Amino acid sequence: MIIHQGYINLSLRSPSVTLGIFDGVHRGHMTLLNRLTDKSKETKGESLVVTFSPHPRLVLENGDKPLFFLTTMDEKIVRLEKAGIDHLVLIEFSREFSTIPACDFIKNILVDKIGTKHLILGFNHHFGRKGEGDFDTITNCAEAHHFTVEQVQGFHTEEGAISSSVIREALLTGRIDEANKWLGYYYSLSGSVISGRQIGRSIGFPTANIEPDDTHKLIPMNGVYAVQVQLDGSTHPGMLSIGTNPTVNSEPGQRTIEVNILNFNKDIYGCKLTITFRKRLRGEVKFENLEKLSAQMELDKQQVIELLG
């Protein structure tokens, strides 16, 4: 996949195009992306995805409420490449850019700069100034500028349509199995190992404290999870705790992410690693003392071994 910073000096062969944020690049998105790649093959052209950076909500919302997303841009790029996309155009999003009328965006960018021949959109897609670019608007513009437009209905389950917001809600309420099912892959986060209080080491379960690479990466609900840890090209089973450590903190402390890597005893301070969430084992619990915490962690460990080996 070729990544383009902006849309200047593109030279593409009969491009089939879609656009959006694609947070999570989940199974709903994959329905759209699969149709895009199929269309490019039918027309002997190239597939192209247009997305925006930074995320429009970070630019347009006032910042009163923290914003968290399923994928960083790097993770999104990896997922789009795995989907078989030929080109990715990254457009810098700003308040000025957000005021461009939908038909002006279509003519000046999608047609004149990118050369769109086929535009494929999701079932409820809006873009342009104040979201005025709906399917009817886009169809009218398509007739004027000689390209075809197609709408894909998306991926539905018994609960309804798959969406990024539905998956975010599942993660925030501890329903990791559902989130993974709807994503089509195991949710993950990457970060660096930082120094901690070393309480885990004192009870026989040394943990690595993780600082996420991206402050807007969504962290799942507090609790204990069976995870896989990717470190230096190797994968290890582990148990991960997200929470405020109520057993050792008399008052609610700062939320931390700590992973005990099974059968592992190396100094990895400063190292980068990736955590893949396989299953939520239990919620966060305040134990009477460290001995009872240690006993529960031994039970957690046995569950991880049964699940992951």
pLDDT digits (tens, 9 = 90+) for 49-66: 999 999 988 998 877 788
**Residue 243 above 70 pLDDT?**
yes
Question: pLDDT tens, 82-141?
Answer: 999 999 999 999 999 988 888 888 899 999 999 999 999 887 666 666 666 677 778 888
Q: CB-hemisphere CA count at 13 Å for 10?
A: 27
Residue 4 to residue 44: CA distance in whole angstroms? 21
Distances (CA, A) of 214 to 9, 51, 211: 31, 18, 9
Find the mean pLDDT for residues 154-170. 82
**Residue 231 above 70 pLDDT?**
yes
Find the mean pLDDT for residues 227-248. 90
**DSSP per residue, the chain:** -EEEESSTT---SS-EEEES--TT--HHHHHHHHHHHHHHHHTT--EEEEEEES-HHHHHS-SSS---BS--HHHHHHHHHHTT-SEEEEEE--HHHHTS-HHHHIIIIIITTT--SEEEE-TT--BSGGG-B-HHHHHHHHHHHT-EEEE----EETTEE--HHHHHHHHHTT-HHHHHHHHTS--EEEEEEE----HHHHTT---EEEEES-TTBPPPPSEEEEEEEEETTEEEEEEEEEE--TTT-SS----EEEEEETT-----TT-EEEEEEEEEEE-----SSHHHHHHHHHHHHHHHHHHH-
Predicted TM-score (pTM) of the model is 0.90
pLDDT score, position 144: 81
pLDDT score, position 145: 82
pLDDT score, position 252: 64
**Residue 153 above 90 pLDDT?**
no
pLDDT score, position 200: 60
Fill in the amino acid letter for 252. Answer: P
Indicate the range of 11-20, 98-107, 219-228, 273-282 predicted with least confidence. 98-107
Find the mean pLDDT for residues 235-256. 83
Find the mean pLDDT for residues 275-279. 97
- Retrieve residue 146's tokens: 């000689």
pLDDT score, position 198: 64
